[in-house]
Amino acid sequence: DSVPLCWCFCFVREPLKTLCVSSYRELILFKYSFADINECTTDNGGCQNQCCNTIGSYYCKCQAGQKLEKDGRGCEDVDECAVVNGGCQQRCINTLGTFHCECDTGYRLHADERTCIKMDPCTGGNGCVHICQNENGVARCACHPGFQLSEDKKACVDINECAEGLAPCSHHCVNTVGSFTCGCHPGFELGADGKQCYRIELEIVNSCEKNNGGCSHHCEHAVGGPRCSCNHGHRLDSDEKTCIDLDECESGEACCTQLCINYLGGYECSCREGFRISSDGCTCDALDDDELEEEEELDIVRFPGLLFKSAPQLLHYGATSLPLTQEEEDDEEEEGEDIRGESTALHRVAHNCSLSCEDCMNGGRCQEGDSRCSCPVGWGDILCNEISDTLKRW
């Protein structure tokens, strides 16, 4: 009733015959030798990927990561992620013929390429200048108090609390790097909170009573302490207490047109040879030929580049100056006595002998039969060797 399953073989013995046998056993019993047909040599046996020949047959095979389709010849991809997530701990990514595992943000893949390990994104600072914060596996930079993030979101810049109105100082505010400090007006002191200012309630004491407040010349009591000032011709030193000489010649305040001689507390103008000081005590008038000839005959004191008709006298200013201290008044009197003494010593011979024309000084003219010289404007006394009251007032 049923057709027996058999294989057909071509035998090489003569005569060629086709025999149908039901098994290899029967074929072996026949003791005929035969040759297998390799179906894979023709069109790859119809296989899409790999054809495998066998004795009396063949079969198709697919590469790793693929499986045979229902026709037994075509190949289709195997989704490894469909079975136990491909063995991945977190995410499985299927690709053609293979797959791989991936980790969520904030994790990294272990060496087994399956397991995920939590990682710290702030390891190494991540470029943050101040603080690195781990927020769900993402690095975020932050700054210390008093600073704010710059535009690059990594560096930190100072916040000017004073300019932005963030400092609750009651009087005034001074910005510092990363912070600020509060200050108070004179007569107030800073409270314990470092922000509020409170009036200083102290017994009123004259700060100038003791040691003149430390001032060299004049002291004026003020809320913040003694306030020092100096006499005319002096200025305050860097300590705001000591008075030092003001060199009017060097500072340019002197009115001299030719030569300027500075001394403690003042200055004096002088002229070069061939000139004489004018009545204003500042400018110099040129001598005419007659006066120059008489000048050569005068008994004068010469210094390099300078010509003095008498020893330097104090130049009195018309401007109101601060009163001198007792110490300075004594110094001035001693200096005046020294100058007058020198002047007298220079010209004492003229007073002890009879007057002659050669004794007249500073352009003074000889008057025969008279007991004194005729002096030009600005000079006086018998020999014209004293500055007149007119010149002294300048």
Q: Three-class SS of residue 107? A: strand
Side chain identity, residue 57? S
Residue 103 lies in a domain: yes
Query: What does the DSSP assignment read for 241-267?
Result: S-EEE--HHHHT----SSEEEEETTEE
Last residue of a domain, one of 118, 143, 174: 118
Instruction: Report the alpha-carbon distance of residue 257 to residue 251 in Å, rounded.
Output: 14
Tokens of residue 21, six digits: 């046998």
Return the pLDDT at 334: 52
283 and 372 share one domain:
yes
Q: Among residues 345, 343, 351, 375, which one has the least CA distance to residue 362?
A: 375
- Do the domain assignments include residue 174? no
Number of domains in the chain: 4
Residue 185, in any domain of the structure? no
User: Which CATH number is 149's domain given?
Assistant: 2.10.25
Least confident range from 10-14, 33-37, 121-125, 383-387: namely 10-14
Residue that terminates a domain, selected from 118, 146, 181: 118
Q: What is the pLDDT of residue 296?
A: 60
313 belongs to a structural domain: yes
pLDDT in the model for residue 124: 75
pLDDT for res 76: 84
The end-to-end CA distance of the chain, in Å, is 162
> Which range of residues forms the domain containing residue 65?
7-75
64/87 same-domain check: no
What per-residue confidence (pLDDT) applies to 329?
54
Average the pLDDT over 181-195 and give the result.
91
